Structure 1
Amino acid sequence: MTMLSLAAAKERVAAVFVAAGASDANAASVAAALVTAEADGLKGHGLSRVPTYLAMLKSGKIDGKAAPVASRPRPGVLAVDAANGFAYPAIDLAIAELPSLARAQGIVAAAIRRSNHCGSAGYHVERLARQGLVALLFANTPGAMAPWGGSKPVFGTNPIAFAAPLEGRDPLVIDMALSKVARGPIVAARQKGEPIPEGWALDAAGRPTTDPAAAIAGTMVPLGEAKGATLAMMVEILAAGLVGAHFAFEASSFLDGEGGPPETGQLILAIDPAAMGGAWFAARMHDLVGAIEGQEGTRLPGMRRYGLRAAAERDGIAVAL
């Protein structure tokens, strides 16, 4: 392990992907997302993803030189074709376009198809909130959860992320998978040879397991049981059905180089508060945050990642590449 500054870590990771056949721009986009996730303590979406991404590059499951393309089928819709490349450049393209569109129209949606693993969903909506927008992201992922009462995967872990600007401070960021835990920590546990807590996942026979390999081969336990499975279905419709992407049960794995491109999807909504809450939005958010932080033992969602990021910016992160 080598301790590197965040800038140096991004350069090191980008170089690995360029050497594996990715374009310079795509490698830089992937490196920025992975290093930020690692700095934020989200290791399941951080550098632990490098081996699986490289496997997908090597097999052609990800086109490392793909260039995403955007079109405007309707005034309020930005359609992005990720072209079976990494998700990050396609999302970067959307984030570059969404702010001006949202300010012109009040609300706009980016529909991203032929995509892949989008990492920490909060990373994307945070960037929109830093430009003064309220943002939502829905992403579907390969089959990992069964419908409630079933035993075969139909839904992915299907993250939902939300961010809102806060005056004079870091944005509020809410980021959660609809399984009891995201698959990333299970992948990281498998790489380390460590068990996972009971209650996270079931094996292929539907039995509780603490073996991460058996968990990956089986199904994830939904957050909130039947309610989580129902929410996962909603995300499938929003992030795949609406945008023309593969449903979870049609998508190949994000965890290996086997099969064709997963062709999953993301839907991003960006809202300009000035078009709705007007001048009082910032004051309303101040009051809501005060009601939460005024209670002992509470904190806003997403604040832990900012603290870890600040420490990583000061001390660097450990890189084994």
Structure 2
Amino acid sequence: MTTYSLDALTQWARETLEAAGATPEMAQSTARALVDAEAVGLRSHGLARLSQYAAHLRSGRVNAKAVPFVRRAHGAAALIDADEGLAFPACDLAINEAIRLGQEFSIAFVGVTRSHHFGAAGNHLARIAASGLAGFAFTNSPAAMPAWGGRRALFGTNPIAATFPRQYDDPVTVDLSLSKVARGKLLVAARDGQEIPLGWALDAQGQPTSDPRAGLKGMMCPAGDVKGAMLALVVELLCVSLTGAAFGFEADSFFDENGNRPHIGHAFIAINPSALVSAEVYHERIETLLAAMLADEDVRIPGHRRTDLKRQAQRSGIEVSEDIAAQMSGRQA
């Protein structure tokens, strides 16, 4: 393994995306998001995605010159149009709007339409928590899971995330996919020549598989079986019916270089914790629950491991795979 600073990795990712046609703004926003994911240990949403994004820019699956904009705004709600570009500039704009509207109205809903893969859901919420607001993030994605009882991929893995700020410590942040694991973990396993545990995925014939490549051609298993499938349905409707985006079954796989522009949707919610009770009551209730959780020695607060990993990465850099190190040396993705 080779270690690089966050700045070096971000520069390489930015240069790679610009070489594939992205605007400097799109390249910088995306590079920062990929390195942030790598820094918190989410390799499946980190630099492993760089070559995929670059391929989509080159093939035209992404509008390389996209400039996201506020398409509609009414009261505490707004809709961001990603202009068919990579998702991160649109998500940056959405988070800005969610914070502004959340502070003005105490609650905000900001949707994003005509977008692309938005990476690690929880990472988008860091600025919301830093502003003192509670936040939620949702996205649909290309079809990878069947409806419960179905035999074809219909819903995406449809991750959700939530963050709750604390007064004197890092926020509580929950980030999970509604498949048993994020599909990107299969991408990493396939790239590294590793098997996956049975129960993560099904092959194209609907049979359990330990081959990540077969899983990528087949379907993911929902977390919690029928409950996960129903939650995936909820996220699909939340991110599409309210934004006019494409359903998962209407979007071609992110893992294919060629295909349609996915046009998927995202949703962000920001809430002022002081809107209904005082800040003192909010923080007391949060800390009371966390203290009760931590009374059991094996319990950990969600999100804190990622925060610790990012601080360590900021100090010492990130160890990357030899594949990525080779790409860094050759300056290409």
User: Is the shorter-chain TM-score for this pair beyond 0.5, marking a shared fold?
Assistant: yes
Rounded to whole Å, the distance in 2 between the matches of 1:62 and 1:184 is 19
Give the secondary structure class of the aligned counterpart of 2:112. strand
Contact 2:95 2:268 (8 Å CA) reproduced: no
Partner of 2:165: helix, strand, or coil? strand
CA contact (8 A) 2:143 2:249 kept: yes
Alpha-carbon distance, 1:21 to partner: 0.8
SS at match of 1:143: coil
Aligned partner letter, 2:61: K
Aligned to 1:148: 148
Aligned to 2:85: 85
Quick one: distance in 2 between partners of 1:44 and 1:254?
A: 13
- Following superposition of structure 1 onto structure 2, how do residues 171-250 of structure 1 map, counting pairs within 5 Å? 171-250=171-250
Instruction: Specify every segment of 5 or more residues in structure 2 that has no aligned partner in the other structure, as ranges.
Output: 329-333
Question: Cα deviation per residue 1:125-180 (whole Å; 9 max; x = unaligned)?
Answer: 12211111111111000000001121101100000000010111111110000000
Instruction: State the TM-score, normalized to the length of structure 1.
Output: 0.97
Kindly, what percent of the aligned residue pairs are identical?
45
Amino acid of the residue matched to residue 301 of structure 2? L
Q: CA deviation at 1:11?
A: 1.4
Corresponding residue SS for 2:274: helix
Question: Could you tell me which amino acid in structure 2 is paired with residue 18 of structure 1?
Answer: E
- Distance in 2 between residues matched to 1:186 and 1:297, nearest whole Å: 28
The aligned residue for residue 288 of structure 1 is: 289
Determine the C-alpha separation between the residues in 2 that align with 1:116 and 1:123.
16
Contact in 1 for aligned 2:98/2:268 (Cα 8 Å): no
- The size of the alignment, in residue pairs, is 321
Deviation at 1:58, TM superposition (A): 0.7
Judge conservation of contact 1:57–1:257 (CA < 8 Å) in 2.
no
Query: 2:190 & 2:292 partners in 1: Cα distance?
Result: 41
Please say if 1:168 is aligned against 2:172.
no
1:216 aligns to what SS in structure 2? helix
Give distance in 2, aligned partners of 1:119 and 1:277.
33
> Partners of 1:267 and 1:56 in 2: how far apart?
23
User: Could you say what secondary structure the match of 2:162 adopts?
Assistant: strand
Deviations 1:262-289 (A, max 9, x none): 0000011111112123221112111111
Instruction: Report the counterpart of residue 260 of structure 1 in structure 2.
Output: 260
CA-to-aligned-CA distance 1:69-115 (integer Å, 9 cap, x gap):
01443111111000110111000001122212111111111110001
TM-score by length of structure 2 reads: 0.94
Q: Give 1:301's aligned residue.
A: 302
1-side partners of 2:204 and 2:51: how far apart? 24
The Cα offsets for residues 194-237 of structure 1, whole Å up to 9 and x where unpaired, read as: 11111100001010001111101111100000110000000000
SS of match in other structure, 1:117: coil
Q: Is the 8 A contact 2:146 2:154 kept in 1?
A: yes
Instruction: Give the aligned residue type for 1:255.
Output: F
Structure 1's consecutive aligned runs of 4 or more residues displaced over 3 angstroms after TM superposition are: none
Shift of 1:258: 1.3
Q: Tell me which residue corresponds to 1:61.
A: 61
Q: Which amino acid aligns with 2:235?
A: V
- Contact 1:106/1:276, CA 8 A, preserved across alignment: no
Report the equivalent of 2:97.
Answer: 97
RMSD, aligned α-carbons: 1.2
CA distance in 1, matches of 2:273, 2:205: 48
Instruction: State the alpha-carbon separation in 2 of the partners of residues 29 and 205 from structure 1.
Output: 39
